[in-house]
């Protein structure tokens, strides 16, 4: 079990991340809004969470869509997966994109995304003349059958 993540409320109405069940991998992030935000079809909107946090060194906070919000209402992070680096101390903001054909309204306190804390490996990169052979080789984009 890891130590609790230090979270600072930047707004009195902000909510700390919560887990929907005992074994949930992602903690829900909540909208912290002065007023509702309507996202037009095909558009994106910056949704503040009202919190900043200290992601542990050697880890990253990966921000993913909430399946219900994405599947039922078409709202998902515009960048597909957001990354909160361990040295970032600013407000966590989720840019939601509306993939649906209808305007979607985000309310204050609504669960807007989920964050998974994961270890990060940061190897050095070395330029070489050749790479080792593999069974796959340079095949990509469907080369394995799908």
Top CATH class of 6-119 equals mainly beta
The pTM is what?
A: 0.90
Better pLDDT: 65 or 3: 65
Q: What's the whole-number average pLDDT of the chain? A: 95
- The string of pLDDT tens digits covering residues 46-100 is 999 999 999 999 999 999 999 999 999 999 999 999 999 999 999 999 999 999 9
3-state secondary structure of 68: helix
Could you give the CA distance from residue 69 to residue 96 in angstroms, rounded to a whole number? Answer: 10
Closest by CA position to 14, among listed 45, 60, 53: 53
């Amino acid at each position: 079990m890891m130590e609790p993540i230090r979270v600072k409320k930047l707004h009195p109405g902000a909510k700390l991340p919560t887990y929907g069940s005992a074994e949930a991998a992602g903690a829900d992030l909540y909208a912290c809004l002065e007023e509702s935000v309507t996202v037009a079809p095909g558009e994106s909107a910056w949704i503040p969470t009202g919190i900043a946090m200290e992601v542990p060194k050697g880890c990253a906070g990966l921000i993913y869509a909430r399946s219900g919000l994405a599947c039922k209402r078409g709202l998902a992070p515009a960048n597909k997966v957001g990354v909160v680096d361990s040295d970032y101390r600013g407000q966590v903001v989720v840019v939601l994109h509306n993939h649906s054909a209808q305007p979607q309204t985000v309310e204050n306190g609504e669960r807007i995304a989920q964050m998974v804390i994961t270890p990060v490996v940061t190897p050095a990169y070395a330029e070489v003349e050749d790479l080792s052979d593999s069974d796959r080789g340079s095949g990509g984009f469907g080369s394995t059958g799908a």
